[in-house]
Amino acid sequence: MKGTDLTLEPVSGAIGAWVRGYELGVGASPDTSARLQRALAERGVLFFDFGRVPDFGEFFEFAGMFGKVQGEFGQEIRDRKQPATPFIDSSVTPMKPFRINHWHADGGPLPVPPRAAILAAHEVPETGGDTMWASMVAAYDALSPHLQRMLDGMRIVNNNRRTGFLEPREHIHPAVVVNPVTGRKCLFVDPNYTAGFVDVPEAESDALLRFLFEHINTPEFHVRLRWKPGYCAVWHQQVTKHRGVADFTGPRKLQRLTVDGEPLLGATQ
Ligand SMILES: [Fe+2]
């Protein structure tokens, strides 16, 4: 990244980069923040090695480089020393019952989903418990121009009936969204939240969704992080889907913050 002491190391072909040179607690200039936000939109997920577990103040400051920080899904943080919903904790929300191990973007059924999520590892299993991300830009680009054109004009119903653990929510979104930073189109369907296409008969809708959910599984779209305490991941909710890997026992605690999103821009708007 030119002009700063931060460097970007891409991880896989389509998605992910390690950011080297960020020091916890040093603060960041608006210029650094702008560069990181650009890198986030381009690579989908950024990884940082803090070298140690951050305290909440440091973590909050770090998250602020990516936008307006919230707790979970628009929940305001009233006390920066004691966040209301601080952790993804496997003893509270185990992966399988909560479908954390299925592809999704957080807040998909909300009218304005968050832009980014930021996780910092506090306690991780000795083996397993990785997180995977899939590039929805790569997923869209790999479709035929015929299917791209069709999906560009379609809308989806997103709800949380399958996950079921949050207040019931439902919202209609574009099937393809345009990232406002890069202008790239991102496939926006996922198997946790997308219930169907608007104005499409159920049999057609189900068949197309089955194909797209399978399409997201293509390894060339993916990157995977083996967590260590002090590792941090920041991901863009429009550009990527993510999932945990439910192959571990024992505690897994990751501190989490969310950054406010903007209204989604459809491909044909
Ligand atoms: Fe998630």
Find, among 104, 148, 71, 73, the residue nearest to 238 by Cα: 104
What is the value of pTM for the model shown? 0.94
**Domain ranges within the chain, ordered by starting residue:** 7-134+219-259, 137-216
What DSSP letter does each residue of 140-183 carry, written as one string?
HHTS-HHHHHHHHT-EEEEE-TTT-SSS--EEEEESEEE-TTT-
Ligand 1 centroid to residue 237 C-alpha, Å: 9
CA separation for the pair 93, 103 (Å, rounded): 16
CB contact set of 184 (below 8 Å; sequence gap of 6+)? 137, 140, 178, 239
Count Cβ atoms below 10 Å from residue 31 Cβ, excluding itself. Answer: 11
Ligand 1 centroid to residue 107 C-alpha, Å: 8
What DSSP letter does each residue of 70-83 carry, written as one string?
ESSTT---S-TTS-
DSSP H helical ranges for 191-235? 202-216
The CATH superfamily label for domain 7-134+219-259 reads: Clavaminate synthase-like (3.60.130.10)
pLDDT digits (tens, 9 = 90+) for 226-248: 999 999 999 999 999 999 999 99
Can you tell me the mean pLDDT for 37-59?
95
pLDDT digits (tens, 9 = 90+) for 7-32: 999 999 999 999 999 988 887 788 89
How much is the pLDDT for 82?
Answer: 55
Ligand 1 centroid to residue 106 C-alpha, Å: 5
Ligand 1 centroid to residue 130 C-alpha, Å: 13
Ligand 1 centroid to residue 31 C-alpha, Å: 29
How much is the pLDDT for 250?
Answer: 87
Q: What is the mean pLDDT of the chain?
A: 91
How much is the pLDDT for 130?
Answer: 98
Ligand 1 centroid to residue 207 C-alpha, Å: 25
How much is the pLDDT for 2?
Answer: 45
Minimum mean pLDDT range among 68-72, 133-137, 144-148: 68-72
